[in-house]
Amino acid sequence: TAVGIDAIEIRTGKLQLDLPNTFAPKKGEDPEKYTKGLGLETSSFPDVYEDIVTMGANAAKSLLDRKGLAPDEIGRIDVATESAFDHSKPVSTYIAGCLEQVYDGDFRHANKGERKFACVSGTQAIDDAYNWIRAGRNRGRAALVIATDTALYERGDPGEATQGAGAVAMLVTEDPSIVELSTEQGYGSMDETDFLKPNQQFPSVDGKRSMQVYLSRMREALEDYESIVGPVEPDTVAYAPFHTPFPGMVRKAGLFAYRHITRNTSIEDELADSIGRQPREDDYGSREAYEEAISEYMDALKGTDRYQDWYAETIEPTLGLSRVVGNWYTGSVHLARTSALRDAAERGLDDAFVGERLLVGSYGSGAQAEIHSETVRPGWREEIEALDIDEQLASRYDLSFEEYTQVHEVHDYDKSVDVEEFTVPDGEFVFTGWGRMNERTYDYVE
């Protein structure tokens, strides 16, 4: 039986920051650095009553309501996040607690947990759900996987430009409506110090290095994946959704991936063929000469029509949501998949798209990349058309720079500031304050 993703719901933070028009002028930077360089228009932020729990619980509630599911039909709730505020009690218990306020029945029978490995943990939580179902331990129940983050950086950090906040809830079941997951996976994993939060809320980031590590681990994951399934032919992939910290990163990842899967034309492999082994730096005389040769090759490849066409069809459509919400860390690759499927629906594809392949590349700093493929299932279009993300995006409150600085402080756990909410809660879970043991508390507002 096929196992995979049966339903998706997305919840964006209810505030937005306009990067070219509000943020760039205050930073004294050219707006095109954001729109053209990083590839971003706006980022999402949580209102003062929103956080990882409310966004996750609101996404999960929409999903359960739309699918008509009761708590006893969910056997597992896993949350993936790198924004947790509790080192012991998992965010999934807070979310289950929220949901129990509004449903008859409870989640006492459900196995709950929290997955951590930076942004790749959303995909790892889906793997756990897949394995649980494949092992026959689910007793007919579905798994709820929620990737939720407030991706905020220290004010003034270069990463500030790529912030974002939101949650993606996914239902993993047998006979799924959206995609079937492949059994084969490729990994590239190594102890790296590129982006981390050693007991601190905002990350320590070596931005330039993190980009190199992303590309290296992704290449290894692709090699590992191909060692199981054989070479990936570019025209067998309908879309390649990759982890998207910002679209400019995926512009580079797309080129690297294409170079890899069309490697028979790469200079490294031509050289490997002629010398009978993988080339080393000294084949070029120096590291600089080697890097220059690779960079010249990449520039030439980037300029070819075949690459431009492949990129326009396979990668560019995965970036639609990311451009207007920023980085959602654990949810980001799942937004990329959703953007791809939305593109297919907009192109009017329906049954013809069933059976097509997505090549999904996840990445978590620290660092690990994972590649697997997914096969589109009958029912995908109805599920994707049920999303209300366009309405959510259109109703975000547009922050001034001054308001943005206040919102940033509200979500800094080290600070206690009193700021009025910008939007009015309406049929959703809200953060209400702190309880007797310093736990965060929540209510449902009708």
Both tokens assigned to 199? 């007991």
Task: Give the pair of three-digit tokens for residue 202.
Answer: 């905002």
Any catalytic annotation for residue 243?
Answer: yes
* Cα(313)–Cα(320) distance, integer angstroms: 13
98 is catalytic: no
- What are the Cα distances from residue 28, in Å, to 33, 323, 399? 11, 21, 18
Q: Report the interface residues with ligand CAA, using CB under 6 A.
A: 30, 32-33, 36-38, 119, 158-159, 161-162, 195, 205, 207-208, 210-211, 214, 243, 245-246, 248-249, 327, 329, 363, 365
Q: Check 50, 98, 119, 403 and give the catalytic one.
A: 119
Residue of 23, 2, 43, 17 whose CA lies nearest to 247: 43
Q: Residue 285: which region, alpha, beta or left (left: phi > 0; alpha: psi -120 to 50)?
A: left
Would you state the structure tokens that stand for residue 20, as one six-digit string?
């070219």
**Minimum CB separation from ligand CAA for residue 152, in Å?**
11
Q: How far is the CB of 254 from ligand CAA (least distance, A)?
A: 12
C-beta of 147: minimal distance to ligand CAA in Å?
12
Beta carbon of residue 246, minimum distance to ligand CAA (angstroms, whole number): 6
Residue 4 CA to residue 54 CA, distance in Å, equals 25
411 catalytic? Reply is no
Identify whether the C-beta of residue 118 lies closer than 8 Å to the C-beta of residue 82: yes
Nearest 5°: the CA angle 200, 204, 206 is: 170
User: In angstroms, what is the minimal distance from the CB of 203 to ligand CAA?
Assistant: 7
Closer by beta carbon to ligand CAA, 4 or else 20: 20
95: amino acid identity, one letter: I
Catalytic option among 160, 192, 243, 334? 243
Q: Which is nearer to ligand CAA, 16 or 368 (CB)?
A: 368
Taking the complex as a whole, the smallest distance from the CB of residue 324 to ligand CAA amounts, in Å, to: 17
Please state, in angstroms and as integers, the Cα–Cα distance from residue 281 to each residue in 257, 277, 287, 288, 293, following that order.
21, 13, 5, 9, 11
The length of the chain in residues reads 446
* Strands 397-398 and 42-45, sheet pairing: unpaired
Q: Which is nearer to ligand CAA, 161 or 359 (CB)?
A: 161
How far apart, in whole angstroms, are the C-alpha atoms of residue 382 and residue 364?
31
Contact 342, 241 (CB under 8 A): no
By beta-carbon proximity to ligand CAA, the closer residue of 195 and 422 is 195
The least distance separating ligand CAA from the CB of residue 212, rounded to whole angstroms, comes to 9
Judged by CB, which is closer to ligand CAA: 30, or 299?
30
- In order of 255, 315, 381, the CA distances from 275 in angstroms are 25, 34, 50
Q: Are 4 and 142 in contact (CB under 8 A)?
A: no
Q: Which one is catalytic: 9, 82, 220, 316?
A: 82
Which one, 33 or 67, has the nearer CB to ligand CAA?
33
CA distances from 436 to 3, 396, 419, 430 (A): 42, 33, 23, 18
Our CB check for ligand CAA shows the closer of 207 and 234 to be 207
Residues with catalytic annotation? 82, 119, 243
